[in-house]
């Protein structure tokens, strides 16, 4: 049973990997990697495009991680605008994704976390909890008072469905060939309607089922973000059982929230939210899920460093305790 944590490619170094090993992390995610497939439009800096150079990069980072007793398990990045919006240059970006998947297969990196939304996450003003810790917060009524403007990212639901189908038809066969699982993250917040003019189609479990059916394959799966699924208003314990039974969970964002609605929630410490985390871990075991689990977001602890190491250590220790209590290892 494994715990995963992530680093921006600029922070993958001996110091941070030593820290991760010390707090009990097993697997590494690079999010994002320095690949041209990860950006919209022309790259502002030199990024890796060709299969050979991507393979070399991944092998080097894999060796570095292994030198610290860690495994490079996956990379993660957002779908670029050309793909999500279906704009000129889409096929070129898809070819870059294919190069990335082929390099991952050659380098032995088995999972790719991604999202499919033209506009990123939305949040409102930070709220504060125990010890003055800052909680990432969303209140829809507040958000509506100052909706961000994205005139170049307007798209309706039909367009989004057409674009994800086009994408999956071309990408899933390559992922299958290379033994890589695609782990699709939910919209955040998971509100199944247009926000700032862009439709959102990864905001309910029914939408996930539709996405799975567009390209039936073990490679077409999900990143089970426990916080987002809770915010959907779903019975998250039932959702773990349902998605786990389908074999669709690649890895888990094992985090807790306060508020079972996408319109009003706080991302709180893992031990104080609305979800019974120990029970959740028991259900993961019951459906045969072997990990990895990762903390994802953590509240901002006063006095913590720029890497939020205190928050990472707290969440990782809590996850390890749940694993040991349930899996016995």
The three state secondary structure string of the chain is: CCEEEEECHHHCCHHHHHHHHHHCCCEEEECCCCEHHHCCCCCCCCCECCHHHHHHHHHHHHHHHHHCCCEEEEEEEECCHHHHCCCCCHHHHHHHHHHHHHHHHHHCCCEEEEECCCCCCCCCCCEECHHHCEEEEEEHHHHHCCCCCCHHHCECHHHHHHHHHHHHHHHHHHHHHHCCEEEECCCCCCCCCCECCECCCCCCHHHHHHHHHHCCCCCEEEEEEHHHHHHCCCCHHHHHHHHHHCCCEEEEECCEEECCCCCEEEEECCCCCCCCHHHHHHHHHHCCCCCCEECCCCCECCCCCCCCHHHHHHHHHHHHHHHHHHHCC
Q: What is the mean pLDDT of the chain?
A: 96
Cis bond before residue 292 (omega within 30° of 0): yes
pLDDT score recorded for residue 44: 63
Segment 225-233 shows an average pLDDT of 97
**Residue 63: burial class (beta carbons within 10 Å; 0-12, 13-18, 19+):** exposed
- pLDDT for position 41: 82
Q: Please state, in angstroms and rounded to a whole number, the distance separating the CA atoms of residues 301 and 126.
A: 13
**CA nearest 269: which of 279, 260, 281, 258?**
258
The residue-averaged pLDDT of 96-117 equals: 98
* pLDDT (average), residues 35-47: 83
Phi, psi of 86 (to 5 degrees): 70, 40
CATH of residue 43:
3.20.20.150
**Above 70 in pLDDT, residue 327?**
yes
Residue 46 pLDDT exceeds 80: no
Q: What is the pLDDT of residue 48?
A: 93
Number of domains in the chain: 1
Query: What was the pLDDT predicted at 43?
Result: 66
Burial class (CB in 10 A: 0-12, 13-18, 19+), 15: exposed
- The backbone torsions φ and ψ at residue 300, rounded to the nearest 5 degrees and listed phi first, read -85, 115
Task: Say if residue 189's pLDDT is above 70.
Answer: yes
Q: What is the mean pLDDT of residues 28-37?
A: 96
Distance from C-alpha of 137 to C-alpha of 149, rounded to nearest angstrom? 20
Please state whether the peptide bond connecting residue 32 to the residue before it is cis, i.e. omega within 30 degrees of 0.
yes
Six token digits for residue 192: 């199944």
For residue 74, pLDDT over 70 is answered with yes
Residue 311, CA distances (Å) to 271, 272, 282, 314, 323 in order: 12, 14, 24, 5, 18
pLDDT-derived band of residue 42, with 50, 70 and 90 as boundaries? confident
Whole domain around residue 238: which residue ranges? 3-327
Percentage of the chain beyond pLDDT 90 is: 95
Distance CA 228, CA 230 (A): 5
The pLDDT-based confidence of 1 (bands split at 50, 70, 90) is: confident
pTM for the model: 0.96
* pLDDT tens per residue, range 196-211: 999 999 999 999 999 9
Does pLDDT of 113 surpass 80? yes
């Amino acid at each position: 049973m494994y715990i995963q944590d992530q680093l921006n490619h600029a922070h993958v170094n001996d110091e941070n990997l030593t820290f991760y090993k010390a707090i009990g992390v097993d697997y590494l995610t690079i999010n994002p990697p320095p690949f041209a497939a990860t950006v919209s439009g022309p790259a502002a800096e030199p990024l890796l495009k060709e299969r050979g150079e991507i393979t070399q990069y991944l092998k080097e980072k894999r060796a570095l991680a292994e030198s610290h007793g860690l495994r490079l398990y996956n990379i993660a990045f957002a779908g670029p605008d050309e793909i999500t919006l279906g704009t000129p240059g889409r096929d070129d970006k898809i070819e870059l994704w294919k190069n990335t998947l082929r390099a991952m297969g050659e380098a032995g990196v088995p999972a790719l976390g991604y999202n499919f939304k033209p506009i990123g996450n939305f949040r409102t003003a930070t709220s504060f909890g125990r010890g003055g810790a800052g909680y990432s917060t969303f209140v829809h009524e507040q958000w509506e008072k100052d909706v961000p403007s994205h005139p170049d990212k307007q798209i309706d639901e039909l367009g989004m469905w057409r674009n994800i189908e086009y994408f999956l038809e071309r990408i899933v066969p390559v992922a299958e060939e290379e033994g890589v699982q695609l782990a699709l993250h939910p919209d955040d917040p998971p509100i199944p309607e247009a926000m700032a003019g862009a439709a959102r189609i990864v905001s309910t479990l029914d939408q996930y089922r539709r996405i799975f059916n567009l390209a039936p394959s073990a490679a077409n799966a999900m990143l089970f973000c426990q916080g987002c699924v809770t915010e959907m208003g779903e019975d998250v314990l039932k959702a773990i059982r349902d998605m786990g039974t389908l074999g669709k969970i690649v890895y888990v964002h094992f985090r807790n929230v306060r508020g079972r609605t996408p319109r009003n929630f706080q991302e709180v410490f893992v031990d104080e939210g609305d979800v019974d985390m120990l029970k959740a871990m028991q259900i993961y075991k019951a459906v045969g899920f072997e990990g990895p689990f990762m903390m994802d977001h953590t509240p901002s602890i006063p006095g913590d460093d720029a890497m939020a190491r205190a928050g990472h250590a707290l969440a990782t220790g809590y996850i390890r305790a749940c694993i040991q209590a349930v899996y016995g290892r």
